[in-house]
Amino acid sequence: MTIPGVGPLIAAAIKTSMGNAENFQSGRHVAAWLGLVPRQRSTCGKPRLLEISKRGNAYLRTLMIHGARAVLYRVNNSGDQCKKWAIQLHARTHGNVAEVALENKLARIAWAIIATQTTYKQTA
């Protein structure tokens, strides 16, 4: 619950859905499991990234995207590095793209916290 945008409901849903962090090799695998990464269609060595796949745990993905949306809504310049990155991303891309990108980052952070059994530390 120390991660920005993650409250008691989302934390419980992550822990019960994900189980052990050992079930996934990395945070990237968690993001793919949630359906937060784009589909890829490649031909002739040219990768093309398409829309977000939306294959995965729809309930948990929805909760986490709402958490990311709340972070972007309430963020200010006095936050940590993650929040500053979110502000810069929101300024240069569409709002929904920024929300999903922030959610991808938060899912990876959640996996790292569960894997190392530590708490989230904000960096200035």
- Identify the pLDDT of residue 51: 67
Q: Is 73 within a domain? A: yes
Residue 2 inside a domain? The answer is no
Please give the backbone phi and psi of residue 55, each rounded to the nearest 5 degrees, phi first.
-105, 115
pLDDT in tens, the chain (124 residues): 677 778 888 888 888 888 777 788 888 888 888 888 776 677 777 777 666 766 777 888 888 888 888 888 877 656 667 777 888 888 898 888 888 888 888 888 888 888 888 777 766 5
121 in a structural domain: no
Q: Write out the DSSP string of the chain.
A: --STT--HHHHHHHHHHH--GGGSSSHHHHHHHHT-SEEEEEETTEEEEEEE---S-HHHHHHHHHHHHHHHHH--TTS-HHHHHHHHHHHHS-HHHHHHHHHHHHHHHHHHHHHHT-------
pLDDT at residue 1, rounded to an integer: 67
- Does residue 1 lie in a domain region? no
Please tell me the predicted confidence (pLDDT) of residue 104. 85
Answer yes or no: is 40 within a domain: yes
Decide if 21 is inside a domain: yes
Could you report how far apart the first and last alpha carbons of the chain are, in Å?
Answer: 19
Asked, for residue 123, whether it belongs to a domain, the answer is: no
Q: How many domains does the chain have?
A: 1
- Give a yes or no: residue 100 inside a domain: yes
Domain span at residue 88?
8-116
